[in-house]
């Protein structure tokens, strides 16, 4: 792979500018979920272990180039120190960082204030990037989730200092490479969720790369409707019918098998305990909506999973937030988890609702890799070049 890792760098006595994502949820001045903080710990420990001094650069919220005190990263300090088991000094301004003597820099780790307080960050201003570069000797990017943005701290810096990927970035890149870069075949993709319109580029890219594409969730309704099937009151983008037909044609040309639901679970309302029934996908009652895939569809997906060597998944197969419309998502997730555990499948998944659904199914632990990167993960699935990753490539 074309990027350096911490293993390739000499860090002894070096100041390591480390871009991290600690954009954590906060309520009443406290971090409510420290997952993102915990995930950067291996990288920071590794840098410390190699004799380097981590100087953390991160953003928090969207202050749009101005100092917004409610968006200060200071709020993350206690959670950061706790997760690291090391002292962290908070550096409020770049001037303070520039004036700092070695003695003042005595803490194990330094954390710079919200980098988006500076307009040069999001503008990827070369002068701003150069100013940041002076604060360090080496650049380490551990923020895959911010890699789809070409900002000074995610892209510009990589050109100005010896650059490498942090452990989290490395794990993400290796997992993604195994799933779409150079995957074991056959490769199967599962794409679900609400709408086709939000996942057009993703579907377009996948049909050219994978051997089997399962389409589920609300977007499957659009594909069914595009084939002339009446989907009643289901969520459906009728104006996307032409696009859906184009995607199916592209799949045929590329030799990608598209798997749509054969049977579906329908209800008259989307509410817990609403009476539901299973019908063939061609027979949705005019006054009902499709809220999940049925058992025949699940069996078809299970067979495909057994044949597959690699799985990439984004989007739930049904309206999983409310039982019983989580059944198909749960069953497919548990099947993928079991095959992964047995060693016959490499499984990678990402997306906000997808991660929630896989957790709810109790399947997330067994997946090979779960990406929490959101937008960056989706752009990667769309086949786009991520500027933060491209800049690391040597």
- Judged by the rule CB under 6 A, the positions of this chain that interact with ligand ADP are 192-194, 217-218, 235, 290-291, 314-316, 318-319, 321, 351-354
Residue number with the shortest CB distance to Mg ion? 353
233 annotated active-site: no
**Whole-number minimum distance, CB 61 to Mg ion, in Å?**
20
**Residue 314 binds which of Mg ion, ligand ADP, none (CB < 5-8 A, kind-dependent):** ligand ADP
**Residue 206 binds which of Mg ion, ligand ADP, none (CB < 5-8 A, kind-dependent):** none
* Runs of H (alpha helix) within the chain: 35-39, 41-49, 77-84, 94-99, 119-122, 126-133, 167-176, 200-207, 217-226, 241-254, 295-307, 327-341, 352-360, 375-381, 387-390
Looking at beta carbons only, is 17 or 331 nearer to ligand ADP?
331
Which of 61, 204, 232, 352 does the annotation list as catalytic? 352
116 annotated active-site: no
**Whole-number minimum distance, CB 129 to ligand ADP, in Å?**
32
Q: Is 370 helix (H, G, I), strand (E, B) or coil?
A: strand
Paired strand residues for 278? 265
**Whole-number minimum distance, CB 265 to ligand ADP, in Å?**
9
**Residue 218 binds which of ligand ADP, Mg ion, none (CB < 5-8 A, kind-dependent):** ligand ADP
Please pick, from the candidates 352, 374, 375, 383, the single residue that binds Mg ion as defined by CB under 5 A. Answer: 352
245 annotated active-site: no
Interface positions, 191-210, toward Mg ion (CB under 5 A): none
Paired strand residues for 3? 393
7 CB burial (10 A radius; 0-12, 13-18, 19+): exposed
Contact call for residue 353 and Mg ion (CB under 5 A): yes
352 annotated active-site: yes
Cβ neighbours of 189 (radius 10 Å):
28
- Buried b or exposed e, range 233-263, using 16+ CB within 10 angstroms: bbbbbeebbebbebbbeebeeeebebbbbbb
Catalytic residues: 36, 195, 352, 375
């Amino acid at each position: 792979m074309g990027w350096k890792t911490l293993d390739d760098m000499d860090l002894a006595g070096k100041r390591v500018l480390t871009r991290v994502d600690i954009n954590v949820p906060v309520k009443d001045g406290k971090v409510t979920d420290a997952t993102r903080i915990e995930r950067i710990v291996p990288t920071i420990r590794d840098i410390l272990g190699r004799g380097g001094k981590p100087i953390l650069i991160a953003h928090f919220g969207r202050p749009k180039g101005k100092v917004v005190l409610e968006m200060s990263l200071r709020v993350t300090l206690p959670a950061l120190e706790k997760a690291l088991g090391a002292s962290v000094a908070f550096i409020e301004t770049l001037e303070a960082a520039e004036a700092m003597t070695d003695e003042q820099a005595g803490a194990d780790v330094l954390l710079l204030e919200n980098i988006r307080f500076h307009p040069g960050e999001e503008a990827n201003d070369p002068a701003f990037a150069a100013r940041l570069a002076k604060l360090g000797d080496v650049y380490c990017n551990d923020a895959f989730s911010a890699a789809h943005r070409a900002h000074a701290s995610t892209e510009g810096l990589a050109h100005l200092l010896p650059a490498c990927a942090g452990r989290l970035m490395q794990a993400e890149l290796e997992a993604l490479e195994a799933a779409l870069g150079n995957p074991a075949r056959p490769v199967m993709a599962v794409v679900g969720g609400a709408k086709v319109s939000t996942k057009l580029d993703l579907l377009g890219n996948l049909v050219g790369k994978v051997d089997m594409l399962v389409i589920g969730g609300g977007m499957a309704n659009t594909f069914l409707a595009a084939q002339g099937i009446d989907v009643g009151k289901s969520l459906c983008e009728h104006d996307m019918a032409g696009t859906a037909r184009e995607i199916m044609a592209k799949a045929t040309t590329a030799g990608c098998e598209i798997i749509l639901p054969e049977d579906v679970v329908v209800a008259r309302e989307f509410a817990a305990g609403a009476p539901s029934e299973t019908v063939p996908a061609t027979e949705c009652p005019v006054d009902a909506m499709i809220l999940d895939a049925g058992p025949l569809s699940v069996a078809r997906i299970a067979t495909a999973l057994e044949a597959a060597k690699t799985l990439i998944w984004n989007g739930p197969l049904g309206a999983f937030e409310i039982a019983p419309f989580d059944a198909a998502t749960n069953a497919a997730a548990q099947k993928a988890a079991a095959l992964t555990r047995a060693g016959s499948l490499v499984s990678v998944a990402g997306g906000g609702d997808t991660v929630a659904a896989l957790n709810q199914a109790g399947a997330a632990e067994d997946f090979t890799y779960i990406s929490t990167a959101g937008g960056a993960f989706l752009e990667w699935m769309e086949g786009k070049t991520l500027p933060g990753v491209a800049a690391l490539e040597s």
